[in-house]
C-alpha cells in the first residue's frame, strides 16, 4: 500500500527524528501519549518540520519496534508497524490505537496529547483526576450509576421508583430487582 506522509503534525500525527537514533524511552512516551488520547500515527524518521531524514539502522526492524513498545508499556500496547519509503529514505510508520484504559510506560509515566493555543500538539502529564473524564468520553462511566454519598430513602421519589419497576418489566430488565423492598436490598418476605 502506498502511504503518504502528512505535511504537518496534528493531534493524531507525530513526527520523530531518528538521525541520531531516537531514544527508546522517547518513542515509548510518544505511543503512550497518543494511546491515551485518540490514537494516531507516528512517523519515525521524519523531522518536526516534515522533512524525511530516514531511520537509524537500529530501528529498521519493524517487528522489533512493535515488540519494544509492547514490552515497555503497561498494559502492553499493541501497535501496527510498517516500513515505508519516501524520497529514497526509510520511515517507520507506527499506528497507535486509542486505548480504552490508561496506558503508562513501564516505569509508570502517563501522558496524553493536547493542542497548544497555536494548534501544535504536545504531550502533557495524564493526571489521575482526568481518568474519570476520559472514561466518560469513552462512554465507560455512567455518572448516574455512581452512589450518592449521604443520600437517604427520603431523597428518592417513590414515583421514580415505580417508573424504574415499569421500565424493568417493559424492557425485560433484571426481574430480581422487582422483588426488592424500597427501603432495603433484601427481597420481600
Query: What average pLDDT does this structure show over 114-142?
Result: 80
Q: Which tops the pLDDT comparison, 97 or 148?
A: 97
- Rounded to two decimals, what is the model's pTM? 0.72
Q: Where are the domains of the chain?
A: 13-137, 147-179
pLDDT at 182 over 80: no
Task: Name the grid cell of 168.
Answer: 424493568
* pLDDT surpasses 80 at 66: yes
Poorest-confidence range of 15-19, 81-85, 92-96, 135-139?
A: 135-139
| Rounded Cα distance, 16 and 14, in Å | 7
Better-predicted residue by pLDDT, 63 or 186: 63
CA distance 34 to 37: 5
- Asked if residue 180 has pLDDT above 90, the reply is no
Would you identify the CATH topology of the domain 13-137? 3.30.950
Decide which of 24 and 158 is more confident: 24
pLDDT band at residue 98 under the 50/70/90 scheme:
very high
Q: In this model, does residue 146 exceed pLDDT 80? A: no
| Angle at the Cα of 89 from the Cα atoms of 88 and 94, rounded to 5 degrees | 135
pLDDT digits (tens, 9 = 90+) for 27-55: 999 999 999 999 999 999 999 999 999 99
Q: Give the DSSP letter string of 175-186.
A: GGGGGB-TT-SS
Instruction: With a cut of 90, say whether residue 73 has pLDDT above it.
Output: yes
Q: What's the burial of 10, exposed, middle or buried (CB within 10 Å: 0-12/13-18/19+)?
A: middle
Give the pLDDT score at 153: 76
| pLDDT surpassing 70 at residue 1 | no
Amino acid at each position: 500500500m502506498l502511504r503518504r506522509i502528512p505535511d504537518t503534525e496534528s493531534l493524531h500525527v507525530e513526527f520523530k527524528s531518528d538521525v541520531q537514533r531516537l531514544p527508546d524511552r522517547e518513542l515509548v512516551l510518544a505511543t503512550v501519549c497518543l494511546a491515551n488520547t485518540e490514537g494516531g500515527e507516528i512517523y519515525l524518521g521524519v523531522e518536526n518540520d516534515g522533512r524525511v531524514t530516514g531511520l537509524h539502522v537500529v530501528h529498521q526492524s519493524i517487528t522489533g519496534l512493535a515488540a519494544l513498545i509492547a514490552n515497555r508499556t503497561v498494559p502492553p500496547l499493541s501497535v501496527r508497524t510498517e516500513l515505508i519509503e519516501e524520497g529514497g529514505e526509510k520511515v517507520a510508520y507506527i499506528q497507535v490505537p486509542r486505548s480504552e484504559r490508561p496506558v503508562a510506560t513501564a516505569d509508570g509515566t502517563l501522558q496524553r496529547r493536547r493542542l497548544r493555543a497555536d494548534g501544535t500538539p504536545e504531550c502533557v502529564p495524564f493526571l489521575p483526576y482526568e481518568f474519570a473524564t476520559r472514561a466518560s468520553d469513552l462512554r465507560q462511566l455512567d455518572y448516574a450509576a455512581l452512589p450518592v454519598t449521604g443520600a437517604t430513602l427520603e431523597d428518592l421519589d417513590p414515583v421514580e421508583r415505580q417508573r424504574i419497576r415499569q421500565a424493568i418489566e417493559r424492557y425485560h430488565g433484571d426481574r430480581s430487582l422487582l422483588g426488592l423492598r424500597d427501603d432495603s436490598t433484601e427481597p420481600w418476605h
